[in-house]
Amino acid sequence: MSDQIRTIKDSILSEIALELGASYKELAYLEDIEKNSFLTSNDRYGCRALVANQTPGVTKYTTLVQSFEIVISKGYIQSSVGDSEQVIKSYDIRANILSIYNRLVRNQAGSPVVVMNVNGLVVSEPEYLEDDKVVVVRATMDITHRINL
């Protein structure tokens, strides 16, 4: 089971990289975003598997709905007169998340042999890492896949 989840996660990362382009780099730390060094690049992304639930399916298979979280960060320039730059960057990230989600739905998360469905997008409120001048937005989605018994 874990190999299939790893395959899906790796496929999602590939799809994200294709959608965002070469200027974005993968995050080293996903559990604690603040551990990342944003000195060389503020534009980062990552993906991790979250909770999985079994759903009714066919005999000899286990059908799972697995939640995956996508994390995207983008740097901003701080202003002393307002936070409009932070807000603009958060909107940019949300637009990127929608593009990535559309791509994942169309391409079955880059793993059409394994993935049956992608749905249930939820985008969180932006987080602002003031010390690093970085906006972070997380999004979760459910991916339905089947495992042979």
Q: What are the E-state strand segments in 32-126?
A: 44-55, 61-75, 115-123
Phi, psi of 14 (to 5 degrees): -65, -40
Number of domains the chain is built from: 1
| CA–CA dist 99, 50 (Å, integer) | 21
- Percent of the chain having pLDDT more than 70? 99
DSSP lists the bridge partners of residue 44 as 25, 73
Q: Is the pLDDT of residue 82 over 80?
A: no
Q: How far apart, in Å, do the first and last CA atoms of the chain sit?
A: 10
CATH number at 22 reads 3.30.70.1700
pLDDT-based confidence at residue 117 (cuts at 50, 70, 90): very high
Write the pLDDT tens digit of every residue in 19-56: 999 999 999 999 999 998 888 889 999 999 999 999 88
Query: Mean pLDDT throughout 92-100?
Result: 97
Q: Is the pLDDT of residue 108 over 60?
A: yes
| CA–CA dist 1, 26 (Å, integer) | 24
Query: Mean pLDDT throughout 89-118?
Result: 95
Write the pLDDT tens digit of every residue in 56-69: 877 788 899 999 99
Q: What are the E-state strand segments in 56-114?
A: 61-75
pLDDT at residue 40, as a whole number: 81
Query: Mean pLDDT throughout 103-119?
Result: 94
Contact 111, 86 (CB under 8 A): no
Looking at every residue in the chain, the average pLDDT score rounds to 92
Domain of residue 13 covers 2-148
